[in-house]
Amino acid sequence: MADPDLLTVTAADGRELLAAARSGWARPVPDCPGWTAADLAGHMGAILGWMAKIVTTGEAVPRSDRETPPTDHDLLATWYEAHLDRTIGILASAPADSRTWTFSSRGDHRVGWWRSPVSQG
């Protein structure tokens, strides 16, 4: 089982992103030039769904196969939150040593890599 504190923090950060987006969907995201809060929520929801597919199948999933987020803000919020909850649940329940695809340059192909505080390399 994953470090519950890490998954708790990840879930809280995801909910904070959604709360910030809901407070101003059109607000620009300074670190992502040209993006709005809605764009960021859509991107992150698609990434969460992509991660869930990888961890559940153990296989590489092309980034081009990510879901297209809904454009309606109410639907976007529900869609994002569902992906966040599902992905956190999958990461919490999958054994850390289970084999799965990652983009680790160090050859770490374990579910635990996706839960790492710094999934890199």
Does 45 fall in a domain?
Answer: yes
Q: Are 101 and 109 in contact (CB under 8 A)?
A: yes
Question: Is 120 a member of any domain?
Answer: no
Read off the CATH number of the domain in which 90 is found: 1.20.120.450
Confirm whether 83 is domain-assigned: yes
Range of the domain at 27: 4-115
Q: Could you tell me if residue 121 is inside a domain?
A: no
- For 79-103, what is each residue's pLDDT tens digit? 999 999 999 999 999 999 999 999 9
Is residue 40 in a domain? Answer: yes
With respect to residue 13, please indicate whether it lies within any of the assigned structural domains. Answer: yes
- Give dist(CA 26, CA 29) in Å, integer: 9
Give me the number of domains the chain comprises: 1
pTM above 0.85, yes or no: yes
